[in-house]
Structure 1
């Protein structure tokens, strides 16, 4: 039920794996792609994709009778390995050397571990010209001063390091590389650090897209990553949908997204999701706007909202970092916070400089013990979605002798699934194969009325279209209807 292949190797020498889950002729069945690692620092997405594959094989193998899954567990293995390195920092880019500050030199101003703890956190510098203050609910957390409220900045805040190239900017040209989710074609962010010289410039991006475009049986893409249109669905915007280059989900697809979102929230029961942080090149958006498939995604987990306890300063602005610290303390976690520690900094003589903050990776990647339930719930949701897939059938077949050796054939092409055969975007793009309805004649047979081949651009769930032919002759004819991503059905008809 499972087969594994490497699509390519990254510049860092890491495999980009593709795991196919299916029974029999898997390529002929409607399919869903499950993709993890679209953001290198989001380790959880890789684990969720792998646990999904394990859950399908061990607990839901029956779904493979009708659906194939292509699992791409880690699209950012070069960045992912930073978690296991001696110096830990939240990395998003691959192993390609980049000149992020465009000064003609590569990787000359990386992070520096000033306090020697093996982690890159933050650096705050006491300075009355700064824009930052401590949070009123937790002085460990730094926030921007709001001048409209009379707040005055007391600090400048930087990532931990030195200005190694003496250009006045800190850590702007380290081992950044190219970010997978900045290197796609939808709203590609030109001339932005991490986006690459052009869209799909990277081996891993090219390998995935090349593979997806060969899979005509794919109708849906599920992405584990920062993007999230399941906790809160995308909303239709008429102006964005009317542009030549569409920037809003289309109206029918918005309704479909809302329907799936409701089921997701019932199945997973995670509330108060953080902002999805989508950006140009985001894979979740690419799969919908440029690939035309049903595209849904979620981080898979986030820190629950903690209520203010009695005697505790209120977290009035619902600051995520304050909430995280309170949750971590309730859970008894360790190594999630680095206390602010004063250091001597050559770039700030005669100023107080401290290094500290929330440890890398911990806010978006829970302790391993907390992943089990989340993984099972998400696997259950994807299975539910698979069982709603389009299912083209030929029903209500009727034949009638009308004289002079002619037979009238009538049949309904019916979508027995809940999901439509095509998203509205897929229909608009004209890239997805239409539903093909074909009548195959034998020797000595003649088609009097109707067409041998007809197509449907889309067929809603639980909807049908009737077809009629008039055939002269004897023997049998064959009717076949469907598309590789929506199922195919056939019937043999005896002429009267």
Structure 2
């Protein structure tokens, strides 16, 4: 992929800002950069809008929304968003495919929803879910607080010898711990904890403290929101965080958004709603569209595409157990298509097959085997970087301990830098294919018939050649937000004899709605809802009058054609 910038490290806030401002300065005909809001630490939440302004304004085309770092540590997501922009701007002048995309569609990109959190994640050893703000407690709580005790820049594991330790060193690899069996009574035994120090330590018990930064922005959206006593990390009320409210407001205020792509890590999977209920309880036509679009993701990445609740979360997860997500907000509140990419697929790379569902609970034996496969992959593919052998350390509270283990942030949660380019490029390829699934309204033809010297009949044939219908999802019908398409006829000194100047034509189906069957006798099509409609006017006008016919609404933007009488 021809790119201008390097993808050998994870960009900090200032680097992202600098690149976005360069795009704004160099490509004023293609983009607009806006600071949507400012975080408590004074960083801007940037949004960049991208289209070919010569063929219509940003709001005048169906839009594809890309966002990243709602989970601030999943920085591969923001790198994918930046790669998309890089690919567009680097290749626009020479790539006909990109030119056509920007002629017909708009991209809205928020590359980093939580800039405060990501900056802390990238500049400290800490692992942070969404943001480095105290929640739900205002003070540190008693217990083990994660901390880089040995000063090597990462927070790993520490093992502590104990006569009642639950673990022992594995015979298979000295870095691997195996569970103690019921008859293990001789040898060295350990308990294993996160590297850190214990607040209010009583000299005996080591218990994990509640998270100091417990916000989960992807549980703070209104759809199905539950109090944090039920849904961990959900915030004190829906959209209680400035970052999530900014995103929700952006989506609400940009009604031409047809599809949202949320960039996360990790696992290596494309996810689609619902997350708050079972797939069988969602609209079947919408689910069929997700399945078809998900195949594009699989083709480009090798990742499976599954429903969040039924295909991803552990088996037996009840409906309503994972709520308040951006995914469900987009689909069930806004009526738009929503995919989440969990970038970076260490498990299959290490030889660990996906379960069904993908996040099923592991047995103790499976967990040990999987950890060993991680270690072997690191040795084989990453030159041993990203794992620390158990190393003695004099802990100020515990005395002699050993610190070691896998660097979660830079191996598991995000790829080691040498694997980053291939990761971001394959998802960029998906985006540039997926955007073409959006509704695409066009005029097939306009017929004019001269009735008499000053009277004309005009028949305009408007069609949707996109995969998705113009209302995007059937959920939009249920929400009653399926704004009718309007078709207008304009020209100088027109007198309308029949047909209103502006006519509402409802919605146009996409080709995903055609019942297409294959069989031993070949293919067949059955059109259930129309993909094309005819709009008719009879007007009085002077011969030679130029007419402009426009189809528009807030979702598809507007499409116009001209004809001369």
Q: TM-score, normalised by structure 1?
A: 0.79
**Aligned structure 1 segments of 4 or more residues deviating by more than 6 angstroms:** 127-137, 143-147, 235-239, 271-275, 344-349, 401-406
| Preserved contact between residue 97 and residue 107 of structure 1 (Cα < 8 Å) | no
Going from structure 1 to structure 2, the CA distance change for 1:445 and 1:124 (only over 3 Å counts) comes to same
Going from structure 1 to structure 2, the CA distance change for 1:460 and 1:333 (only over 3 Å counts) comes to same
Please, which of 344, 351, 360 is the counterpart of residue 301 of structure 1?
A: 344
1: distance between equivalents of 2:385 and 2:561?
64
**1:118 aligns to 2:153 (yes or no):** yes
| Preserved contact between residue 294 and residue 305 of structure 2 (Cα < 8 Å) | no
Alignment of 1:59-458 (within 5 A): 59-60=91-92, 61-62=98-99, 63-85=101-123, 87-100=124-137, 105-106=139-140, 110-124=145-159, 140-141=175-176, 156-165=191-200, 170-173=207-210, 175-176=212-213, 178-191=215-228, 192-226=231-265, 231=269, 234=272, 240=278, 249-270=282-303, 279-303=322-346, 304-307=348-351, 320-341=370-391, 354-361=402-409, 362-400=411-449, 409-421=458-470, 422-431=472-481, 433-439=483-489, 445-448=495-498, 452-458=502-508
| Preserved contact between residue 159 and residue 170 of structure 1 (Cα < 8 Å) | no
2: distance between equivalents of 1:131 and 1:443?
88
| Preserved contact between residue 261 and residue 338 of structure 2 (Cα < 8 Å) | yes
2: distance between equivalents of 1:210 and 1:170?
40
2: distance between equivalents of 1:333 and 1:420?
49
**1:22 aligns to 2:51 (yes or no):** yes
Going from structure 1 to structure 2, the CA distance change for 1:22 and 1:395 (only over 3 Å counts) comes to closer
Q: CA deviation at 1:165?
A: 3.9
| Preserved contact between residue 41 and residue 90 of structure 1 (Cα < 8 Å) | yes
May I ask how many residue pairs the two structures share in their alignment?
A: 471
Q: TM-score, normalised by structure 2?
A: 0.71
3-state SS in 2 of match to 1:117: coil
Q: Which runs of 5 or more residues in structure 2 are unaligned?
A: 1-29, 93-97, 183-188, 315-321, 353-364, 513-529
Q: Which runs of 5 or more residues in structure 1 are unaligned?
A: 148-153, 243-247, 309-314
Q: CA deviation at 1:363?
A: 0.9
**1:39 aligns to 2:39 (yes or no):** no
Going from structure 1 to structure 2, the CA distance change for 1:227 and 1:252 (only over 3 Å counts) comes to farther
Going from structure 1 to structure 2, the CA distance change for 1:454 and 1:326 (only over 3 Å counts) comes to same
Q: CA deviation at 1:471?
A: 3.0
| Cα displacement string for residues 93-142 of structure 1 (whole angstroms, at most 9, x for unaligned residues) | 32332244xxx745676323344433222344566877777789656455
| Preserved contact between residue 216 and residue 433 of structure 1 (Cα < 8 Å) | no
Q: CA deviation at 1:46?
A: 1.3
Aligned match of 2:6 = none
Q: CA deviation at 1:197?
A: 1.1
Please, which of 467, 487, 494 is the counterpart of residue 534 of structure 2?
A: 467
2: distance between equivalents of 1:23 and 1:488?
14
3-state SS in 2 of match to 1:264: helix
Aligned match of 2:95 = none
| Cα displacement string for residues 241-292 of structure 1 (whole angstroms, at most 9, x for unaligned residues) | 68xxxxx542112111111221222223357999866943333333223222
Going from structure 1 to structure 2, the CA distance change for 1:353 and 1:285 (only over 3 Å counts) comes to farther
Going from structure 1 to structure 2, the CA distance change for 1:114 and 1:224 (only over 3 Å counts) comes to same
| Preserved contact between residue 265 and residue 342 of structure 2 (Cα < 8 Å) | yes
When the two chains are superposed, the root-mean-square deviation of aligned CA atoms in Å is: 4.1
| Preserved contact between residue 69 and residue 264 of structure 2 (Cα < 8 Å) | yes
Q: CA deviation at 1:294?
A: 1.4
Q: Which moved more, 1:25-34 or 1:336-345?
A: 336-345
Q: CA deviation at 1:54?
A: 0.5
| Cα displacement string for residues 1-39 of structure 1 (whole angstroms, at most 9, x for unaligned residues) | 233222222223322111222221233222211111121
Aligned match of 2:88 = 56
Q: CA deviation at 1:208?
A: 1.9
Going from structure 1 to structure 2, the CA distance change for 1:238 and 1:166 (only over 3 Å counts) comes to closer
1: distance between equivalents of 2:368 and 2:484?
48
3-state SS in 2 of match to 1:17: strand
| Preserved contact between residue 111 and residue 159 of structure 1 (Cα < 8 Å) | yes
| Preserved contact between residue 440 and residue 478 of structure 1 (Cα < 8 Å) | yes
| Preserved contact between residue 275 and residue 323 of structure 2 (Cα < 8 Å) | no
Going from structure 1 to structure 2, the CA distance change for 1:33 and 1:133 (only over 3 Å counts) comes to farther
Q: CA deviation at 1:415?
A: 0.5
Q: Is the helix fraction higher in 1 or 2?
A: 2
